[in-house]
Structure 1
């Protein structure tokens, strides 16, 4: 079994988020997996189904610095990273950190800003640092971006560059709730937003401790080959112009380790790989002959069909 403290810590976080994100256990698991792997998550769905709520619930459950970036067409890169400010008292320029200097950053409606502004996140997401005027500034640890976006066909949206999509561990949607859950939402929101009263259950040190356990999870060589078989298949399949990158394969590997910890194990099983394959890989492939932004569900189904016949190690 995985280290008991790490498993219990994950369950405590899971239960806390579930107090306000109702009926979305799979979504909560994916958010926690991304956090444990030290990577980032992209929530894509229509407006009003709870994308921002899910991000705020995760951030509120962690006793860490949280910031929110509302992406708009006039947002500048310096509004994210920060800039050099002249201080008249000292007669010198001083770096003023932007909102990216936080442990959990909510990038709300990320695809409403132009690509130049979106790219300001690239260095932060991949290297945990930002460079302003030639000077590199490290970001705090842990560091995680939870981005939300509306479907590409919605007015006023831009498609994210492939290089930026590759920095997200996974992409998932929220979906409409069941009638029973929606009834409960109506009842619990009578007196305001429940997430505003959510208390933190993990501190900074505990998050870093859980992340350190993820790297200790054992990956049997046969399962490593199974994961690489899936990655190779995306590069060879006629449905895709571009397959999964090496960075994508590494993220897939780490995500499986994090999922095992969440399930209370210190070893990988084939179901970990199969469960994470679509949310981890679908946004990293470029489909053949159709517009990328409008083809998300087609790509996910193609990827699921591709994985199914690949032999699973016994």
Structure 2
């Protein structure tokens, strides 16, 4: 029933008394409307929840079982501990970027790594387009490093160990393959150091190095899709899930992910030793520590003479 406002001529009451009565009725109506809206909102939420449980029971059950993951301070903004003036950039290419990224991820002084594409004419190419060879890009890796701990020269020297720089198939880049061996430089000093590193390496080999040294504006490095970041880490689903990484940005910005990816690409006892050393020197989420301990225990129960990595543990 609609509420009727009281008029002065109907009561003989004063103006202030009438205002008080009418104001109370108004506020009461507002409270009833708010309560009705609240009940309606709860009903809608209940219906949505019921629908989700009926149609996606397994997914909802798994979601409820997931523990709240702890993310260490270093994972929120991994490079903040290193002043910007001490951060350097480098980019390399050599066969698949999965292996190159893992190799640099395990290097002391490397802050973070990312797989991507560079050297082409299109902006933001997809992996499919790069594979088809229509963009001029090659699979490559960007490395962000702490110049106080490692030099660009040392990174170049490490590069030769990550692949075979004498592979003649790289000479067919753009014709029959999208792979190439290359060191990309952004400054004249980087070009000079890359060339000197190439000469030093060539003096140790009997075959000719086919690696190209190419100028690159690092803004023209385009990140690869999420599934191509930290390949070896993502293959270990439990460990990867414990870090709570979802987006490409999170994968490329995580120092912990870079290091673990490098460790998981190693073989046997070497990988275990590196993992134990990393655990003892790094603050990791509790869930990640438990998974790492499980990996080490499982490895210890396997036949030690067999060569394998830690991905499947």
Same fold per superposition (TM over 0.5): no
With CA pairs under 8 Å and 6+ residues apart, which has the higher RCO, 1 or 2? 1
Scaled to the shorter chain, the TM-score interval is: under 0.3
- Normalised by the length of structure 1, the TM-score is 0.24
- Normalised by the length of structure 2, the TM-score is 0.24
Query: Whose helix proportion is higher, 1 or 2?
Result: 2
